[in-house]
């Protein structure tokens, strides 16, 4: 596995994408509306920043912003087999938010682990 991306919750994904592209001299490589969010990916060379802006009042990112304000919402780890990664987590006694991988942004399969079992960090497995 490798670090794939850091997911950052924000009220202005496009504006933050422009700022980070200039600040980090990285390329804005993908944008989409997905699951009630405006999502932007920046290629930082050794991983991505995923900027997440809620477009609806409900949903995980809207709740995150309400409870915590803007900031890093999750860390994603790239894997060749998200289902296998979930099985490994279950074997370690870690609660899985997703019972099986599901469609995620940019057409990837994703699955999340509960932060109470991963040191307070929402962990995502992403299979390209």
Q: 82 near 109, Cβ under 8 Å?
A: yes
| Each residue's pLDDT tens digit, 36-86 | 999 999 999 999 999 999 999 999 999 999 999 999 999 999 999 999 999
Q: Which residue has the tokens 């009630």?
A: 36
pLDDT at res. 54:
98
pLDDT at 13: 98
C-alpha 102/C-alpha 100 separation (Å) is: 6
Secondary structure percentages of the chain, helix, strand, coil, to 5? 30, 40, 30
For residues 30 and 125, what is the distance between their CA atoms, to the nearest angstrom? 19
- Separation between Cα atoms, residue 53 and residue 72, nearest integer Å: 12
> pLDDT, tens digit, for every residue of 86-102?
999 999 999 999 999 99
DSSP assigned state of 96: B
Q: Which of 56, 16, 49 is nearest to 33 (CA)?
A: 56
Which band of pLDDT confidence, cut at 50, 70 and 90, is reported for residue 9? very high
Which domains occur in the chain, in start order?
1-73 (3.10.180.10), 92-128 (no CATH)
Distance of CA 20 to the CA centre of its chain: 17
């Amino acid at each position: 596995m490798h670090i794939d991306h850091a997911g950052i919750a924000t009220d202005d994904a496009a504006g933050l994408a422009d700022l980070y592209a200039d600040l980090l001299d990285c390329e804005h490589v993908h944008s989409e509306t997905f699951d009630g969010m405006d999502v932007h990916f920046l290629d930082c060379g050794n991983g991505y920043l995923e900027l997440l802006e809620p477009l609806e009042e409900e949903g995980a990112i809207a709740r995150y912003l309400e409870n915590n304000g803007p900031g890093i919402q999750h860390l994603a780890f790239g894997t060749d087999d998200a289902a296998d990664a979930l099985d490994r987590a279950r074997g370690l006694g870690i609660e899985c938010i997703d019972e099986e991988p599901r469609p995620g942004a940019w057409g990837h399969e994703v699955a999340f682990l509960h932060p109470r079992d991963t040191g307070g960090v929402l962990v995502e497995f992403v299979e390209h």
